[in-house]
Amino acid sequence: MTILGVDPGIATVGFGVLNADRNSLKVVKYGAITTQPGLPLASRLLVIERDLTSIIGMFSPDAVCVEELFFNTNATTGISVAHGRGVILLTAAKCGVPVFEYTPLQVKQAVVGYGRAEKQQVMDMTRRLLKLQSVPRPDDAADALAIAICHARSSTSLLREYM
């Protein structure tokens, strides 16, 4: 199964592509879609849509996984990220790829085994689980890979055979 994890944003959208089966996770590619500061919002969203469509076309994922939004204290930032997240969901749907959404708590639980883990713990476990020399950069790419790991662990569970 090829999984595309996406960490939503406006300035930087992290992505990570994994090949997963029950016994292994293999990194195919990771990185970030970036948009230029100062561009109008609509132009930034267009860049995200264009680049994500290209990534989906290149890797033909079986699933696109996106983290659900968590509003902390800055609602303005959350709203702009929500615009980007909407474009990500729409792009995956237009490309015909099923979308799966996970909360930050679910991602931390799947990667670290503890839903309240610190960001650094998640990043280090992502590196270890994927047998990488260093934590993927930028952080958004590491987050996207963690989201993909979460889906891999959910979708390859033995419990799915009985559902």
Could you tell me the strand order of the sheet in which 63-67 lies?
A: 25-34, 12-20, 2-7, 63-67, 99-102
- CA neighbor of 84 nearest in space, from 142, 144, 28: 144
The CATH number of 2-162, from 3.30.420.10, 3.40.50.300, 1.10.4160.10, 3.40.50.2300, is 3.30.420.10
Q: Of these residues, 51, 62, 67, 101, which one is catalytic?
A: 67
- Verify whether residue 143 is a known catalytic residue: no
- Verify whether residue 124 is a known catalytic residue: no
- Verify whether residue 140 is a known catalytic residue: yes
Question: pLDDT tens track of the chain, all 163 residues?
Answer: 999 999 999 999 999 999 998 789 999 999 999 999 999 999 999 999 999 999 999 999 999 999 987 656 556 667 888 999 999 999 999 999 999 999 999 999 999 988 888 989 999 999 999 999 999 999 999 999 999 999 999 876 544 444 4
Q: Whole-model pTM?
A: 0.91
| β-strand partners of 29 | 17
HEC sequence for 46-67: HHHHHHHHHHHHHHCCCEEEEE
Ordered by start, the domain boundaries in the chain are 2-162
Residue 139 and residue 5 in contact, taking contact as beta carbons nearer than 8 Å: no
Return d(Cα 68, Cα 7) in angstroms, integer: 9
